[in-house]
Structure 1
Amino acid sequence: MPQLPLLSGADPARSLDALFVNAPLRDYSRRPRTNDYTLPVLGMAYIATYAQKAGFNVGVLDAEAHGLGIVETAELVNAARPRWAAMNLLAPTYEMSARIAARLAPDIALMVGGHHAKAMPDRILADPRMANLRALVLGEGELRVAALLEDEQRRRELPGVLWRDRLLGTRAAGVPTGRPDPRMLGPDINALPYVNRAFLPQDPYRAAPTETDRRVAVSRGTDLLRTAAHSGHVEANIVGSRGCPYNCTFCGAAVSANPDLSIRVRAPENIIGELDQLHDEHGVTAFRFVDDLFLGVSRVIEDQMDAFTRHRIGERYVWDATGRINVLNRLDDRELDRLVQNGLREVALGIESGSDRILKAMDKRIDAEMTERVTRRLVEHGIGVKGYFILGFPGESHDDLAATVRHIRTLWAIADSNPGDVRASVFEFRPYPGTPIWTTLTDAGHHPDALLAYGDVDLTGEGADESMRQRDEFNFSVGIQFGDVPLREVRSILATLTREQHQRNQSAQGAAA
């Protein structure tokens, strides 16, 4: 295999069995990316790690992380000459993936998976740009990808693997012989190897100190956090579970969109083993749990915190996690204190709206008063909150949107008088196939082609260019007004809120300096 510096994790002395390709969100040869960090492709890295442990030579080409264009990405794949090129298909990047696939050498077999492959398999199988597609893997892929790398003909016996019959032009699917192995569709996540970070070009990474770091350092006063407030941490992303029991209508992880997915949580000792390995090998002292359940189920919180206390995690590390507002609402002060003592720095919350009417339409199982109460209690304990908000949701009125703006500013005001910070991350609504809201929209007459027409959004006209620097990858839209508020007004408010958050960040950095 030739020396290709942008390929991660592969052995250059051996021929390449598979190259896992994460397509860029846009063609960066046309407009260079402005942000300099993207989330790592942990799911892809899990599959690559498992295949590597099975003896295959595999690599990852993260075109989004490297800011590559379509032609450059395809040329790198062709130069690497893998037996298989494997892509994770997501709705916003599907067009980029298909255009890359169309440029691949005909002797490179194509394998795909991901949320979009699961939601629209027949559409993908029929796409002429996917002419060399030999396996579409539905759901979790570790064991089935390794089996396909061993022998392509095994696809005939693997559950949840589809392809296009070239002679008949029809969908073909694997038919397991005998009793199917349940691990093929849902592997034991405690038996999977820890992710080989060589596959992730941007993880671990050194993060700049945040306002949360500064406030936590002041409020808790430990040596570790005082140092972090000035120098930043080496950070890594981690997954503590798979699956979600909730059914938020806009989310690809909604339980109704994934009836085949069993919900599993990693054993606390398994998680702590990975934390310690990342510290020993990479010097990591801060972790971000990116799954839905780490602070989303009371029993899970209790089990994990028991183990964190035993291993004195809070004395050695800090960590962030996603959380469920309705679950955190049930925790008492003692339980919140325990989270702090065990190193919790910030919780990412899907707040989404300040309108109870819209929250009900989203099936969030929360209301604005609950969000305010939970946020206040978290920041009083010195725990930062990163709140996600959606503007322009179907059926949203001017009053609903105004309620969200007021809500965000109320939460900022609460943070201003407490040790924990509040960061607002605001997005324009866009639909994803396979979600409950997708079905609602198509039933109402929206054509799938229109709902899939993701395009860039330029907010610089609203004065948000610098404030959007770290959010460049999130500025896309299908250009449809789904609520009562015109898109131009939605985007103006989005830019205003983002600029205000940026100004808050800058003020905090100035105060820390």
Structure 2
Amino acid sequence: HADEATVCLGVTVLTGAPIRDALHVSRAIKQARPTLSIVWGGWHPSLFPDQCLGEVSVDAVVIGQGEETFAEMVERLAQGESLDGVNGAAHRSGAAVHVEMPRLFRDVNDLPPHDYALIDVPRYFAAKGKRQFDYVSSQGCRFRCTFCADPTVFKRGWQGLAPERMARELSAHRQAYSFDEIALQDETFFTSRSRVDAIAEAFIAAKLDVPWTATMRADQGERLDDALLIKCKRAGLKRVMIGVESGSPEMLARLRKDITLEQVFVSAEKIARHGLGAILNFIVGFPGESDDSVRATLDVVTQLRAMSPNFDAAIFFFKPYPGNPIADELLQQGY
């Protein structure tokens, strides 16, 4: 509901089908309230600010980490001021598009917690069919996968929330929403061993007592010691998600995944031995991928699933999301 006191409409936009929904909402609001500023943020505007501002209903976009940028934009708009000089923003002035200087990334621990009261959390439980609470404990990724836009947006940087803050926030959220499981939706949760150790300690001390799922790279799993896995399991770790992507060493090299199949199987054996579950993610249909490469992937899927009844595999078709080297190659080839 946008009344006369509304300063602007902010829309988070992901590449793909969400663009259609964002356009539908933005155009409807702009038609009803022509003078209301509409600001897009999120992955797609961060990658393509000029393209997004080619849409007449969009007045400005936030690029990259948006908390401080959007707050400054709202303050300016509330005062009727120009968005010129707002670092991390792009905006339209007449027919011209102005892309401001990038904003330096702030430590996520300096940013306030998300206000979940603004979200209809039970609606998400209903959509999932389970009371699983999504939580992001870190930002960015240090790796260079050629199918991913994260290196473009976050410049291969990574930073994580303090373990004590995580335990405090999740304890409060559980009291408020009575969820049965936590899904830590980080790009790579196990990036820092010392931080993971401290998180497990904090969860145990807070008596969080709720199962959780976290993301892990195969090379991180290979390095992870048994003692820390035992502690994580005691703290509630139930399942890990590993992006294997391909069963072909040649394809893994092309993807710059920087893992080996040996690391995948070592990690899987360790996870199975500790009685943990795993969701193993794969992608097929990369441009130019051979039938032999796909068969190699399916063979690895079969081997991994046979290692534990708690292992599941998810196979996705490659989608050329913008902002990564493979998508750029396809554009150069005329697709």
Task: Identify the residue that residue 299 of structure 1 maps to in structure 2.
Answer: 194
1:90 aligns with 2:14: yes
Task: Identify the residue that residue 138 of structure 2 maps to in structure 1.
Answer: 241
- In 1, the alpha carbon distance for the partners of 2:288 and 2:263 equals 22
Task: Identify the residue that residue 170 of structure 1 maps to in structure 2.
Answer: 96
4+ aligned runs moved over 6 Å, structure 1: none
Asked whether the 8 Å contact 2:163–2:195 carries over to 1, the reply is: no
Post-superposition CA distance 1:217-259 (Å, at most 9, x none): xxxxxxxxxxxxxxx9733111111111011111121x24533
Q: Residue 324 of structure 1: CA displacement?
A: 1.3
Q: Does the residue aligned with 1:414 lie in a helix, a strand or coil?
A: coil
1:125 aligns with 2:61: no
* Aligned-residue CA RMSD (Å): 2.6
Structure 2: segments with no counterpart, 5+ residues: none
Task: Identify the residue that residue 316 of structure 2 maps to in structure 1.
Answer: 427
Task: Identify the residue that residue 178 of structure 2 maps to in structure 1.
Answer: 283
Q: Residue 162 of structure 1: CA displacement?
A: 1.2
Which residue identity is paired with 2:47?
A: A
- In 2, the alpha carbon distance for the partners of 1:393 and 1:103 equals 37
1:324 aligns with 2:217: yes
Q: Residue 346 of structure 1: CA displacement?
A: 0.6
Q: Residue 404 of structure 1: CA displacement?
A: 1.0
Post-superposition CA distance 1:409-430 (Å, at most 9, x none): 11111113xxxx1111221101
- In 2, the alpha carbon distance for the partners of 1:204 and 1:99 equals 22
Q: Does the residue aligned with 2:223 lie in a helix, a strand or coil?
A: coil
Q: Does the residue aligned with 1:190 lie in a helix, a strand or coil?
A: helix
Sort the Cα spacing of 1:423 and 1:146 in 2 relative to 1 into closer, same or farther, 3 A.
same
Asked whether the 8 Å contact 2:167–2:199 carries over to 1, the reply is: no
Task: Identify the residue that residue 291 of structure 2 maps to in structure 1.
Answer: 398
Task: Identify the residue that residue 439 of structure 1 maps to in structure 2.
Answer: 328
Asked whether the 8 Å contact 1:289–1:320 carries over to 2, the reply is: yes
Post-superposition CA distance 1:322-359 (Å, at most 9, x none): 11110111112222212211110011111111111111
1:189 aligns with 2:77: no
TM-score for both structures, normalised by structure 1: 0.59
Larger radius of gyration: 1
Q: Residue 388 of structure 1: CA displacement?
A: 1.2
Asked whether the 8 Å contact 2:13–2:42 carries over to 1, the reply is: yes
Q: Does the residue aligned with 1:446 lie in a helix, a strand or coil?
A: coil
Which residue identity is paired with 1:258?
A: F
- In 1, the alpha carbon distance for the partners of 2:44 and 2:125 equals 32
Sort the Cα spacing of 1:206 and 1:135 in 2 relative to 1 into closer, same or farther, 3 A.
closer
Task: Identify the residue that residue 234 of structure 2 maps to in structure 1.
Answer: 341
Which residue identity is paired with 2:97?
A: R
Asked whether the 8 Å contact 2:197–2:232 carries over to 1, the reply is: no
Identity of aligned residues (%): 28
Question: How many matched pairs?
Answer: 328
TM-score for both structures, normalised by structure 2: 0.88
Q: Does the residue aligned with 2:307 lie in a helix, a strand or coil?
A: helix
1:155 aligns with 2:77: no
- In 1, the alpha carbon distance for the partners of 2:222 and 2:28 equals 51
Asked whether the 8 Å contact 2:53–2:60 carries over to 1, the reply is: no
